[in-house]
Amino acid sequence: MTYATALAHPNIALVKYWGKRDETLSLPATGSLSVTLDILPTTTTVEVDGSLRSDAFALDGATASPAALERVSRFLDLVRERAGDDRHAIVRSTNEVPTGAGLASSAAGFAALATAAAAAYGLRLDERERSRLARRGSGSAARSIVSGVSVWHAGDDAASFAEPVEAPPLALVLATVDAGEKPVPSRQAMRQSVATSPFFAAWVDDAERTLEAMLAASAAGDLETMGRLTERNAMRMHAVIQSNDPPVRYLTGASLAVLDRVQRLRDEGVVAHATADAGPNLAVLCAPGDAQSVADAIADVASVAIAHPGPGARLLAAEVAA
C-alpha cells in the first residue's frame, strides 16, 4: 500500500474561463487569469491498495455521491494509465470551508487530487505537468496548482497549463450571499453558452483581448486597471450566461446589493471591483490596506472573509514504493 496527502487552495479568476474548446481534453476556449487564495484549503489523501476491487471516495468524512465517485474514478484512470498501474485507490478529501462560506471548490479539490494521486502512483510531475493533469479533472483546477496570480493558457493539450505571472500586492474580500447549491452546475451552463448563446463568439474575442490587457496591467502593477478589467469581464461572462437558451441567471438580488456597495466604495474613492463565478457570491479585488474597510462596507449584506494570494498545491506527506 502506498499513499500521498496533498493540500490545495481555491482560486478566483479575474479574467474568467467560460466555455470549452475540447470537452474530452478539457481545453478552454480562451486563456484566463486568477489568484490562488491563502484560505479555505482542501486536503486530499490517495491510498493506493492492490486489494481493492474498485475506487472509494469520502468527502468530509462521509461517503461521496455516486456521481462524485465516478468523476474522481475517471480522473484516477488518467493517472493509472500514465503510471501503468491498474490498482484502485481510496480517496479522502476534507474542505476547510467554514459551513456557509459557499465556496464549494472543484478547483482546490482537483488540484489536491492531482498532486496526491500523481505522487501515490509514483509519477514524478513538475508543476506544469501537474497543472495539465489537474485541468482534466476541472478546468479551473489547472490554476490552483500554481501560487498567487497565474495565467492558464488556452493552447493545445501540451500547452494548456497555468504558470505564475507578476502582480502587485492585492487582496480579495469574499462576499458570500448564499451558501446553497447553485441551480445549474457550471459545466452544464458553460456547455449551453457554447451551444446556444448568440454572444459566445463575441465573448471569446473579447476575453482574449481582456487577458492581454490584464497581463499588461498586472506586470505594470496597475491594480486599478486590473480591477476595472475584472468587473467588466465578470459582467460580460454573466451577460453571456443570461443569454443561454434556456437562460441561466446566477446573480441574485443579494448579489446586486453587494455590487451596489462596491460601486458606492468607488464613488468614495476606494479602488474596489467585484467579480462573481457561476453563482451568486462575489469577490472584491482591492489593495491589501483597503481590505478591512471593504469588508466592513459590505458586512451587512454578505458574510465576508479576507483572502490574499496563497501557495500552490503541495504534497504534505507520502509513503511511496521506490
> Is position 281 an interface residue for ligand PMV (rule: CB under 6 A)?
no
Instruction: Please tell me the distance from the alpha carbon of residue 200 to that of residue 241, in angstroms, as a whole number.
Output: 9
How far does CA 225 lie from the centroid of its chain?
22
**Of 9-17, 36-44, 114-122, 153-161: span binding ligand PMV (CB under 6 A):** 9-17
Q: Quote the cell numbers at residue 5.
A: 496527502
> Is position 140 an interface residue for ligand PMV (rule: CB under 6 A)?
yes
User: Of 35, 40, 207, 278, which one interacts with ligand PMV (CB under 6 A)?
Assistant: 278
The answer to whether the beta carbons of residues 3 and 48 sit under 8 Å apart is: yes
Residue 135 beta carbon to ligand PMV: minimum distance, rounded to whole angstroms: 9
Residue 106 beta carbon to ligand PMV: minimum distance, rounded to whole angstroms: 5
Residue 1 beta carbon to ligand PMV: minimum distance, rounded to whole angstroms: 31
Q: In the complex with ligand PMV, which residue's Cβ is closer, 79 or 108?
A: 108
**Of 39-47, 89-97, 138-146, 195-203: span binding ligand PMV (CB under 6 A):** 138-146
Residue 322 beta carbon to ligand PMV: minimum distance, rounded to whole angstroms: 35
**Of 119-127, 137-145, 198-206, 216-224: span binding ligand PMV (CB under 6 A):** 137-145
Helix axes 127-137, 66-83, angle to 10 degrees: 140
Phi first, then psi: give them for residue 304, nearest 5 degrees: -115, 150
User: Of 87, 128, 187, 308, which one interacts with ligand PMV (CB under 6 A)?
Assistant: 187
**Of 12-20, 90-98, 219-227, 300-308: span binding ligand PMV (CB under 6 A):** 12-20
User: Of 93, 106, 193, 244, which one interacts with ligand PMV (CB under 6 A)?
Assistant: 106
- Three-class secondary structure assignment of 253-312: HHHHHHHHHHHHHHHCCCCEEEECCCCCCEEEEECHHHHHHHHHHHCCCCEEEEECECCC
Instruction: Please tell me the distance from the alpha carbon of residue 245 to that of residue 295, in angstroms, as a whole number.
Output: 36
Going by their DSSP bridges, the two strands 171-176 and 303-307 should be labelled as: antiparallel
Give rounded-to-5 percent helix, strand, coil for the chain: 40, 25, 35
**Of 50-58, 94-102, 132-140, 163-171: span binding ligand PMV (CB under 6 A):** 132-140
The answer to whether the beta carbons of residues 177 and 282 sit under 8 Å apart is: yes
Report the SS3 class of residue 293.
Answer: helix
Report the SS3 class of residue 122.
Answer: coil
Q: Which residue is nearest to ligand PMV (CB)?
A: 13
Instruction: Please tell me the distance from the alpha carbon of residue 141 to that of residue 143, in angstroms, as a whole number.
Output: 5
User: Of 48, 107, 146, 207, which one interacts with ligand PMV (CB under 6 A)?
Assistant: 107
User: Is the backbone of residue 60 left (phi > 0), alpha (psi -120 to 50) or beta?
Assistant: left
User: Of 277, 295, 309, 310, which one interacts with ligand PMV (CB under 6 A)?
Assistant: 277
Residue 210 beta carbon to ligand PMV: minimum distance, rounded to whole angstroms: 12
Report the SS3 class of residue 33.
Answer: strand
User: Of 2, 5, 30, 32, which one interacts with ligand PMV (CB under 6 A)?
Assistant: 32
Binding residues for ligand PMV, per CB under 6 A? 13, 16-18, 32, 106-107, 138-140, 186-187, 277-278
